[in-house]
Amino acid sequence: MKILVIFAHPKMSESIVQVQMLGAIRNLEGVTIHDLYAAYPDFLIDVDHEQALLLEHDLVVLQHPFYWYSSPAIIKEWLDLVLEHNWAYGNLGTKLHGKFMMQAISTGGPEHFYNPKGKNRFEIRELLNPFNQTAYLCGMAYLEPFAIFVGRRIPETDLVQRVENYRDLIIGLRDGKIAPLGNIALNYSLPGNFALKKA
Amino acid sequence: MHLPDFLIGAFVYLAAAVIAAPIASRLGLGSVLGYLVAGILIGPAVLGLVGSEGQDVLHFAEFGVIVMLFLVGLELQPSKLWSLRKPILGLGGLQVLGTSASIALAAYFIGLDWKAAIAAGLILAMSSTAIVIQSLNERGQLKTFAGQSSFSVLLFQDIAIIPMLALLPLLAVQQSTAHESTSLIAELPAWAQTLSVLAAVAAIVLAGRYLMRPLFRFVAQSGIREIFVAFALLIVVGITLMMQFVGLSAALGTFLAGVVLAESEYRHELEMDLDPFKGLLLAVFFMAVGAGIDFNLLMANPLQILGLVLGFVILKLVVLYVIARIFRMKGPDSAHFAFSLAQGGEFAFVLISFCLGLGLLLATQAAVLVAIVAISMALAPLLFIANENFVQPLFARGGQIRDADVIDETARVIIAGHGRFGMTVGRMLQGKGYKTVVLDHDAEQIDALRKFGFKLFYGDASRVDLLEAAGARTAEVLVIAVDEREKISGIVATVKKHFPHLRIFSRVFDRVHAYELINAGVNDVYREVFSSSLDMGEDVLVALGQHPFEAHRAANTFKKFDEKVVREQARHAGDNDKMVDIVRSSRAELSRVLAGDRAVSPLGDDQAWEDNDGRS
């Protein structure tokens, strides 16, 4: 499976977790890393180029820090522009049918914040629902998100462990050792047009 | 105590140079004119401080011209020289041919016999490499199109002197016995002469390629600075001697050597070491020319001599201008080119004495020719000034060359100036479907662009009637993109007075110009290289490893900040103390802003979450 990592971090020089996650999957064969802030510092996204990239890959990983219960701004801009009507969705929009989407995020707060009794009141899974639904509308399978919690305060050994997990996950998906359909997000049911395209 | 004459002479020349050059520079006349006037003053005609030895001094100082051509060659890589082959052969060839022919004709009608007329034509076809290059250089015009063309012609003249020296004896009635050749190979048969010439040139190229580098290294390793200077001089003197030995122009030989060494890593050393020699020798050369003007001859029949000089200069101007136009140079460039080269040259002195020796010219004719050449050389710097102050403005003003076009369009946007700046703005607007009325005062540019389908009108945007015709009453926006500072300010003043409703977007040259326009009420000012330098700064940051987005933010932050500071400074333009304050405080603020030094960073500071956690 060919993997496209859509990466976004607006301040790489201060990144702790994302920079390591990125380093762990850099230069892997079959894994294309696309740093949106580096490619489009002026936000002038080349839609044709992005769509061509999407067509070349099977799994799209949105890798980014979890800002304000969502992604950094450029990921939103990217979704807004690239997933065009009648390309990614709509009656004629079939181009992404049968592909996979996954999110790889890092959070500032610890895991226990993210539940109904915690400070953030919602589970990560719930907060990512807009992305989940985006994948659904585009006929894609949305995989279980990968998250590293407590960005800056994470103990070094834990971070190393989690980053390794991330690398293993990506390599496993790439090589088919991990079946993507066995890794579908908990609250997700495959859209009809996903299977349509697969068949 | 008896001082040697040499020291007295040196004192007079140096003192004259030290006094005259700064004054002439201060007056904006250029140092060449200063030296020439100083020469006249110390010469036999006025103070008589230097006299009969003037001709010897001239010969000595001609070495300055040789050093200069060596330095010019150093600036010119072989590839660049090769790219100039067309102007050198075409422009240069036509110039020598056309000028000699027309002068010879004129001389024939004045009453010289045809042989003397041809000789005079060839003699006066030469221009002064020393004056022209020094003057162009001083004005920073050597690299301009007209400058390069002038240089090409001068180079061809240097080459042409060789066949001239070979052919003139054929014109002479009787093989003169008085003819003394400097060449030691003159007695050899023709094939041997040709062979030695070729050998000399080959020697220069080969030695420059293979011998110079180890030699330079050897000399440089010694670490003795004056030895390096001595070596540099040795090269030039050595080539001069060798060239004279084979009867070639020494200037040409050293020029060739310079070109060969242009790619050497010692180029800058050579330039630095030889530059003072060139400067001083040229100064002496110019003074010697001034001192050499024969005022007795001039006083005997002033009208005749001055008439001849005037006729000569005008004839040369016309021929040069016509040739430039034939070579499709633009009007202003052609004038610049013609005014640069319309004088006699130092080679003329050589040719005159040569022809005198051959019996081609009578002594009186030779004296008149020397006077014409010398006086025209003295006038040359004045021609440069006249071109700049009176001729070029004619092209710029336009109204006198060509009437303004009738403008049959109206648009929301008027663009004044369609050069590098205005064209980009215009193309963007047109690309987005906006009609524009474009004014420009470069007639040839307009004709060229019209062929590409651009709609432009010829005219001066600082004229009220023309702006009116361009629809300034109904337009909303005026883009000022002309490339002259004063003109921009003039247009702004006119528009503010007559069409105050127009929103002005103006190109400005620098900060100070920005202050001026902001204070004139133009808020939309664009420093012409500001944005591209920011772009470059951003790319350099990326090259140094900064993330592109952070580099982009740094450039934009810098831009916003500096635009703000410019506007703040504009309010205090003229108040130096206040300016210093602003610059000082803004420098500190800028580094703070660029470092993103805020209480809470808005981006990527996950820690903010945890601090909250600690408190709750």
Q: Which residues of B touch A65 (CB under 8 A)?
A: 604, 606
Subunit contact B610:A9, Cβ cutoff 8 A? no
Measured between beta carbons, which residues in chain A are less than 8 angstroms from residue B601?
Answer: 11, 14
Confidence of residue B387 (pLDDT cuts 50, 70, 90): confident
In this predicted model, what pLDDT tens digit does every residue of B336-365 receive, in sequence order? Answer: 899 999 998 877 877 887 787 778 888 888
The per-residue pLDDT for B237 is 87
User: Does residue B604 register a pLDDT over 70?
Assistant: no
State which residue of chain B sits closest to A113, comparing Cα positions: B613
Residue B608 has pLDDT above 60, yes or no: no
Residue B527 in this model has a pLDDT that exceeds 70: yes
B607 contacts on A by Cβ (under 8 Å): 108, 152
Q: Where does the pLDDT of residue B613 fall: very low under 50, low under 70, confident under 90, or very high at 90 and above?
A: very low
DSSP 8-state assignment for residue B387: I
The residue-averaged pLDDT of A14-27 equals 93
**Which is it for strands B503-508 and B477-480: parallel, antiparallel or unpaired?**
parallel
d(C-alpha B382, C-alpha B402), whole Å = 27
Of A29 and B432, more confident: A29
Q: Could you say which DSSP state residue A16 is in?
A: S
Dump strand ranges (E) for B366-519.
Answer: 413-416, 436-440, 456-458, 477-480, 503-508
Query: Could you tell me which residues come within 8 angstroms of residue B381 by beta carbon, excluding any fewer than 6 positions away?
Result: B29, B30, B32, B33, B36, B131, B135
Q: What's the first-to-final CA gap in chain B, in angstroms?
A: 102
> Residue A97's pLDDT is what?
94
Residue of A nearest to B553 (CA): A41
Taking CA atoms, A116 is separated from A112, A121, A132, A133, in Å, by: 10, 4, 20, 21
Query: Which residues on B lie below 8 Å from A38 (Cβ)?
Result: 547-549
Percent of chain B with pLDDT over 90: 17
| pLDDT tens-place string over residues B490-515 | 899 999 989 999 999 999 988 889 99
Query: CA B93 → CA B86, B96, B112, B156, distances in Å?
Result: 10, 5, 25, 7
Among B48, B60, B74, B47, which residue's Cα sits nearest to residue B283? B60
User: A132-171 as b/e, with b when 16 or more CB fall inside 10 Å?
Assistant: bebbbebbbbbbbbbbbbbbbbbeeeebeebbeebbebbb
**Pairwise CB contact (< 8 Å): B609 & A12:** no
Most confident of A77-86, B55-64, B76-85: A77-86
Residue A46 has pLDDT above 80, yes or no: yes
Pairwise CB contact (< 8 Å): A41 & B551: yes
Determine the average pLDDT of the residues in B532-554: 93
Report whether pLDDT(A168) > 50: yes
pLDDT surpasses 80 at B69: no
What pLDDT does residue B176 have? 45
Q: Based on C-alpha coordinates, what's the Rg of chain B? A: 31
CA distances from B282 to B65, B131, B611 (A): 7, 9, 76
- Confidence band (pLDDT; 50, 70, 90) for B299? confident
- For B412-422, the pLDDT digits (tens) are 899 999 888 99
Task: Report chain B residues whose CB lies below 8 A from the CB of A16.
Answer: 606
Which of A76-90, A155-169, B571-585 shows the lowest mean pLDDT across its residues?
A: B571-585
Using the predicted structure, report yes or no on whether residue B100 has a pLDDT greater than 50. Answer: yes
Q: What is the pLDDT of residue B54?
A: 57
**pLDDT tens digits for range B173-217:** 554 444 445 555 666 666 777 777 788 888 888 888 788 878 888
Q: Decide if A41 and B609 are in contact by the 8 Å CB cutoff.
A: no
Which among A153, A61, A137 is positioned nearest to A96, based on CA atoms?
A137
How does pLDDT run across B114-154, given as a tens digit for each residue? 888 988 899 999 898 888 888 888 777 877 788 888 988 98
Does A37 contact B at CB distance below 8 Å? Answer: yes
- Count of Cβ atoms closer than 10 Å to residue B276 Cβ: 11
pLDDT band at B382 (very low <50, low <70, confident <90, very high): confident
ipTM here? 0.84
DSSP SS3 for B495 = helix
Distance from CA of B433 to the nearest CA of A (A): 21
Among chain B residues, the shortest Cα distance to A39 is held by: B548
pLDDT of res. B161? 75
> How confident is the model over B47-64, as pLDDT tens digits?
777 766 656 776 777 777
Predicted local distance difference test score (pLDDT) of residue B403? 62
- The C-alpha angle B366, B338, B152, rounded to 5 degrees, equals 85
